[in-house]
Chains A and B, each alone.
Chain A
Amino acid sequence: MNTELPLQVECRELRKVYPDGTEALKGISLTLTEGLFGLLGPNGAGKTTLMEIITLLLAPTSGRLTLCGLDARKHETRIRSLLGYLPQFFGYYPELTAWEFLTYIGRLHNLSRRSAQDRARDLLRMVRLEEVRDKRLSTFSGGMLRRVGIAQALMGDPKILIVDEPTAGLDPEERVHFRNDLFELGEGRVVILSTHIVGDVEETCSRVALISEGELRYCGSPMEFVLPAEGRVWEFVGGSDDLERLMGQGNLVQVREQPDGLAFRVVASDAPRVTARPVLPTLEDAYVLFLGGGEVEIEQTGRMGQIPQAF
């Protein structure tokens, strides 16, 4: 029955005002279809609020939400059966083993005991936890717990999978594994990946949205997102005084140590130094360009390089 439903999440003018008066979302409208969708934004931008509204944990103050063609206000239980959710802070039950936890979640999805066990077995194999399935969750590392989290989100074979900050706190190897897993999951379902780690979105997502201060600032392909940053990303080698100067400006993308000093990567409309060379922009550069949006002090001339408002 679920296969007949369109793979689509549609938000129309979603607003959320908390009781203390904070306006977390200011009328967000977007449409998501099959594949991986990256939701970017700084901390406090409203990503988690949007995720919680889409997972029906929070009710919006106003606006309309449709998932797989079903109105969220009228078909809550049906929609929940189509959703898989891995929250930012994944709450696990420490006294259960991975196997017990997944079969329990399977039973909550109204699967029979046999079906829940079969599904748990497949998912544990998929997330490479088959060998430790009988160990208690309290003994698992952060990466293993995230994998259990993704497995529980997939127990009901969801059409819409929502993962909120999934790679936070993972080591690089785990992050790569996790990104690959997510990429595979994008087939035949809508996967919404909310994060402030731009690299995760860059590696996996075919579409990206940027939220800042509760407003949708961009929605489209990562390629187009990067375009405004072309010709505005610079690399140069400098000293610790450059580091002090650039740190407070919000336009420093990267700094790394080299034998001849510190290598800086900054976003600016003009070259911050004579020796600075332009480089090809990445999604992270475009993200910093958007979020910085201010000025970079240019050392040699003393001019203030204006960063154009790209969005």
Chain B
Amino acid sequence: MHRVFLAVWRWIIFLPINLTWHWPKAAGQGLARAARATAYGIATASHRLWKSSRYYGALFLYTSRRFLRVEGYIAVLAAILWLSLLFVNYSPKGGRELLASCYLLFTIIMILITSNLLPRERDENSLEILWSQPFSRGGIVLVQVLCLTAWCGALVFLIFAVFGRFLSAALHPVWFVGFCLSTAFAVALITVLISTFCRNAVATAIVALLLFGIHYFWLKEIGPINLFFNPLPSPVGTSGVMGSSGRIAVGAAVANRLFLIALLGFVYDYLLRRLRYSSVWLT
């Protein structure tokens, strides 16, 4: 799984940079070689993913069971209550605030769940068992984070099913869910990385909330370099429903998600190093 992720990261982010850099001297040859290497990388990664689908599947199911028992129910309840309140307060201003608040909500949920992902395994001494199994530590963490993100995605769909009519006119559901999920995944991965420094779920949650709080409230206005970038334009009028005249900032949205992928690549790469070379904190 993590190989697929790394392949995507390498070939989507670094290939264009590489090609741009070397274009004048080796354009045609470099492109052909890069295309072959990309195809080979994706094929190899997919083959390995298919071969290891059993244990990743088991890990996915088990993570769902282990981490979404109590936290999941509380999260769903909190989400529904929160969005009900938002609905009452913000509906006259349109869907933009609703989307922005969704980011905040999912960030909090993902922090609360993932801050306990590794510390819980470590405290219960089950990490040693898990990591002595025949697959990579990076793969384990990535599958667990993806699992939690997927459940978060289910929550997004649920919310969209209820409140989607406020957004549908301006933003397609796929975009809405995609934006929310990629942000949730980034938050989860960064929180897991923080947890490798903090040794404690509570400390991890506090540090992550502080970090993302600063990012959310202070760096909101810096455009594409914003984890919680909201592609919707400011509401037109006060009709309560996003008007069709509002234009989506497509360019800024694409730039933002590319920035997000690059950030995730660096975070994951550093997390792998932490897991591989700093394993003393585990035991």
Q: Do A and B bind each other?
A: yes
Q: Is there an interface contact between B54 and A87, defined as CB atoms closer than 8 Å?
A: no
User: Does B55 contact A108, Cβ atoms closer than 8 Å?
Assistant: yes
A95 to B55, CA, bound (A): 20
Check if B54 sits within 8 Å of A111, measured CB to CB: yes
Query: Is there a chain A Cβ closer than 8 Å to B126's Cβ?
Result: yes
Cβ-defined contact, B279 with A59, below 8 A: yes
B124 and A91 contact, CB distance less than 8 A = yes
Given A57-B132, A85-B129, A93 and B66 contact (CB-CB distance below 8 Å): yes
Residue B52 at the A interface, CB < 8 A?
Answer: yes
Say if the beta carbon of B20 comes within 8 Å of chain A: no
- Are the C-beta atoms of A77 and B135 separated by less than 8 Å? yes
C-beta contact mask, B120-131 vs A, less than 8 Å → 1, else 0? 010011111111
Chief secondary structure at chain A's binding surface: loop
* Residues of B contacting A112 in the complex (Cβ-Cβ under 8 angstroms): 54
Contact indicator A87/B134 (Cβ below 8 Å): no
CA separation between A22 and B51, bound complex, in Å? 41
Q: What separation, in Å, do the CA atoms of A304 and B135 have in the docked complex?
A: 58
B-facing residues in A85-140 (Cβ within 8 Å) = 85, 87, 89-95, 104-105, 107-112
Do A55 and B54 form a contact, CB below 8 Å, given A87-B125, A92-B126?
no
Within residues 266 to 283 of chain A, which ones have a CB less than 8 A from any CB in chain B?
none
Q: Are B280 and A110 in contact (CB under 8 A)?
A: no
A91 touching B129, Cβ below 8 Å:
yes
CB pair B52–A110 under 8 Å, yes or no, is yes
B154 to chain A, nearest CB (A): 21
- The answer to whether B127 touches A108 (Cβ under 8 A) is no
| Contact A87–B282 (Cβ < 8 Å) | no
Chain B residues proximal to chain A, CB less than 8 Å: 51-52, 54-55, 57-59, 62, 65-66, 69, 121, 124-136, 276-277, 279-280, 282-283
* Pair B279/A93 contact, Cβ less than 8 Å: no
Q: Which residues of A contact B279 (CB under 8 A)?
A: 57-59
Binding site for B on A (CB under 8 A): 18-19, 52, 55-59, 76-78, 80-81, 83, 85, 87, 89-95, 104-105, 107-112, 152, 156
Smallest beta-carbon distance A145→chain B, Å: 11
The answer to whether B280 touches A95 (Cβ under 8 A) is no
**CB-CB < 8 A to B52: which residues of A?**
110
**Cα–Cα distance between A107 and B56 once the two chains are bound (Å):** 9
Interface of B is mostly: helix
A52-B128, A57-B283 are known; give 11 further A-B pairs, CB within 8 A: A57-B279, A58-B279, A87-B128, A91-B125, A93-B124, A93-B126, A105-B133, A108-B59, A108-B134, A109-B134, A110-B134
Query: What number of residue pairs across chains A and B have CB atoms under 8 A from each other?
Result: 81
Distance (whole angstroms) from the CB of A142 to the closest CB of chain B: 14
A87–B52 Cα distance when bound, in Å, is: 25
Bound Cα distance A109, B127 (Å): 15
- Beta-carbon contact of A80 and B134 below 8 Å: yes
- The contact of B280 among A58, A83, A152, by CB within 8 Å, is A58
Asked if A55 and B132 make an inter-chain contact with CB atoms under 8 angstroms apart, the answer reads yes
Q: Bound complex: CA of A105 vs CA of B66, how far in Å? A: 15
For A94, the chain B residues whose CB sits under 8 A away are: 124
Q: Which residue of A lies closest to B122 (CB)?
A: A91
Q: B125: which A residues are within 8 A, CB to CB?
A: 87, 89-91
Interface hub of A52, A58, A81, A91 (most chain B Cβ within 10 A): A91
Provide the residues of chain A in CB contact with B54, threshold 8 Å: 107, 110-112
Knowing A83-B132, A110-B52, the reply to whether A19 touches B280 (Cβ < 8 A) is yes
B55 lies within 8 A of A109 (CB): yes
Give the residues in chain B near A81, CB-CB below 8 Å.
134
- Chain B residues near A83 (CB-CB < 8 A): 132
For the complex, what is the distance from the CA of A204 to the CA of B65, rounded to whole Å?
40
Bound Cα distance from A76 to B279, whole angstroms: 15
Closest to B125 in A: A91
From residue A230, how far is it (CB to closest CB) to chain B in Å?
A: 40
Cα–Cα, bound, A92→B66 (Å): 12
When A91-B125, A110-B54, A111-B54 are in contact, do A80 and B283 touch as well, CB less than 8 Å?
no
Interchain nearest-CB distance for B123 vs A (Å): 9
Q: Which of A85, A89, A92, A93 is within 8 Å of B132, CB to CB?
A: A85
B142 CB, min distance to chain A CBs, angstroms: 15
List the 4 closest A-B pairs by CB distance, nearest first: A91-B125, A91-B126, A107-B58, A81-B134
Among B57, B58, B134, B283, point to the contact of A156 (Cβ < 8 A): B134
State how many angstroms separate the Cβ of A165 from the closest Cβ of chain B: 13
